[in-house]
Amino acid sequence: MAFPASLQKGLKLPVISSPMFLVSGPDLVVEACNNGVIGTFPSLNQRTTEGYRDWLKEIKSRLNPDAAAFGVNHIVHNTNGRLMADLEVTIEEEVPLVITSLGAVADVVKAVQGYGGKVFHDIATVRHAQKAAEAGVDGLILVAGGAGGHAGIINPFALVNEVRSFFDGTIILAGAISTGRDVAAALMMGADFAYMGTRFINTTEAQADPAYQQMIIDSGATDIVHTPAVSGIPANFMTKSLIENGIDPRALPEHKLDMGEEAKAWKTVWSAGHGVAAIHDVVPVAQLIDRLADEFKSAGSEFDTKRR
């Protein structure tokens, strides 16, 4: 079964509000879950492991009994010195969904599955998908071209078809999914879930500067540039934000610019995906999810967790 039973509870739409550095916090997660989609955040959005534990406790205390599951994102890489301590807290608190980025490690997968949690791993290439499948992950998040954050460059149709040919677990599609019609399309393509980042930046519960949200409204897909210059790994950023910071988007180097530590870079230059083209407002999460559900339905889709 590609749709994990433990993640069906309270789910109104097959949508995950994806983890976003600096942007996702308890308010966004709680509103997402209480309104029927899976809410997630990166553990590193809290400055310390103790702070991370406090957020988990706060989120749990604010969830309705019939809320959808929530999840956390861990960066599995030797640059993340907090990984083991944060993971210990995740295990103690039995977080239902763990999203791993960069490294797919069998021991981490086993530790989460050991308490009944699910592990989804994000990938942008087929080779990484194969490695993660070998590590035993429950789901693969296919980060296609045009996604916000550290995006891939592969066309979503191609990525879903190729990964599905060898992976029978849950498939979560990411990249420029902004409307309920887009969610329906992701399912038609063979995904089990749609993964939405940029659309959720423009909610009142996101931890985002109003000027960031306005820039998303004012941008189209051609205002997004895929570059390693800000973070060292290729990611999508708004050209208007680069220009505001004195960086010429037409003359970006192939290496990381000296912008200080990672948090400062992301705080200064704003990331968003091609999906900005379909975002015209900032609304409360509850309103956004109602709208997504209406659009999903009017696209002729019905949400049925047993369909595969």
Could you list the residues that contact ligand FMN (CB under 6 A)? 18-21, 23, 42, 73, 99, 101, 122, 143, 147-149, 174-177, 195-198, 271-273, 275
271 by DSSP, 3-state: which?
strand
CB nearer to ligand FMN: pick between 66 and 156: 156
Q: In the bound complex, what is the minimum distance in angstroms from residue 193's beta carbon to ligand FMN?
A: 12
241, with CB counted inside 10 A (0-12, 13-18, 19+), is: buried
Q: In the bound complex, what is the minimum distance in angstroms from residue 232's beta carbon to ligand FMN?
A: 14
CB nearer to ligand FMN: pick between 61 and 205: 205
Q: In the bound complex, what is the minimum distance in angstroms from residue 143's beta carbon to ligand FMN?
A: 5
CB nearer to ligand FMN: pick between 122 and 306: 122
Residue for token pair 């973070």: 231
Work out whether the CA dihedral 122, 185, 200, 4 comes out positive or negative.
negative
Bridge-partner residues for 193, per DSSP? 172
CB nearer to ligand FMN: pick between 48 and 64: 48
Spell 173-189 as b/e; 16+ CB within 10 A means b: bbbbbbbbbbbbbbbeb
Pick from 78, 66, 74: nearest CA to 95? 74
Q: In the bound complex, what is the minimum distance in angstroms from residue 75's beta carbon to ligand FMN?
A: 7
Residue 253: C-alpha distances to residues 149, 181, 240 (Å): 18, 37, 17
In whole angstroms, give the CA distance from residue 272 to residue 178. Answer: 12
CB nearer to ligand FMN: pick between 35 and 45: 45
CB nearer to ligand FMN: pick between 207 and 305: 207
Around Cβ 135, how many Cβ atoms within 10 Å?
A: 19
Q: In the bound complex, what is the minimum distance in angstroms from residue 191's beta carbon to ligand FMN?
A: 13
Q: In the bound complex, what is the minimum distance in angstroms from residue 65's beta carbon to ligand FMN?
A: 27
